[in-house]
Amino acid sequence: MELYFSYVSPYSQKVLIALYEKKLPFVGKLVNLADKADVAEYKAIFPLGKVPLLVTDHRQLVPESSIIIEYLDEVEPSRPLIPKDYEQARSVRLWDRLSDQYLSAPVINMLFESRKPAGQQNHANIERWSQQLGTMYRMIDDQLARYPYLASAEFSMADCAALPALHYSSQFASLKGFTRLSAYYESLMLRASAMRVMDDAAPYITAFLD
């Protein structure tokens, strides 16, 4: 398997965490989203130009982080990231989607906004995205009263999605005051998969934010 990815992309980080959790070997193909030639070359493979993208051993293209993780569960079912039980799987898919849509999406917007000179930043948008993050923090904190992980009793795809987003969002909107969420974030960050991804990503993130 090959994975086209960017270390800066939370959706890529989500899939990297899943690959390391499942201990699946893969060939990493870094895409520099800031380099026009690199992006043009990548778009020849995947015209939408979005990372991550998995290329299977049969040369099938599997885009979209959640669809990639569904595929990984087929390849290596013994450490499932999407439970077999329907109700649990639905909860995992829901919290995966909420994390992607309402944590990762505003966080990416905030990241790009923070790179603009102070005078050119759109404060109304920053306020809107911050409020969205605050709402998600409240919802996740409440949800964590049910399970030790975001969507079920076991680590799942929902946690793979939430962690990279929280890693970024905590720089913009403090987790303080959200006791369960803070403890959850800290415990996830101690997982070998997460430490590896965040350590590898750190220099790329620093360069991106510079």
Q: Closest separation between CB of residue 155 and ligand GSH, Å?
A: 19
Closer by beta carbon to ligand GSH, 47 or else 119:
47
Q: Which is nearer to ligand GSH, 14 or 22 (CB)?
A: 14
Residue 85 exposed, middle or buried by CB count within 10 Å (0-12, 13-18, 19+)? exposed
Label the pairing between strands 53-55 and 61-63.
antiparallel
Residues that bind ligand GSH (CB under 6 A): 9-11, 33, 49-52, 64-65, 100, 108
Judging by DSSP bridges, how do beta strands 53-55 and 27-30 pair with one another? unpaired
Nearer to ligand GSH, 100 or 141 (CB): 100
Residue 172 or 183: which CB sits closer to ligand GSH? 172
Whole-angstrom Cα distance, residue 160 to residue 164? Answer: 7
Tokens of 48: 């939408």
Residue 5 CB, shortest distance to ligand GSH, in Å, is 9
At 93, which amino acid appears?
R
Q: How far is the CB of 48 from ligand GSH (least distance, A)?
A: 8
| E strand residue ranges, 59-117 | 61-63
For residue 104, give Cα distances in angstroms to 48, 55, 165, 186, 205: 19, 24, 5, 18, 15
Q: What does the longest C-alpha to C-alpha distance in the chain come to?
A: 52
For residue 150, the minimal CB distance to ligand GSH (Å) is 16
User: Do 29 and 176 touch, CB atoms closer than 8 A?
Assistant: no
Shortest distance, CB of residue 49 to ligand GSH, whole angstroms? Answer: 4
List the end-to-end C-alpha distance of the chain, in Å, as a whole number: 33
If the CB atoms of residues 182 and 204 are measured against ligand GSH, the closer one turns out to be 204
Output 11 or 178, the one with its CB closest to ligand GSH: 11
Provide the minimum distance between the beta carbon of 6 and ligand GSH in the complex, in angstroms, as a whole number. 6
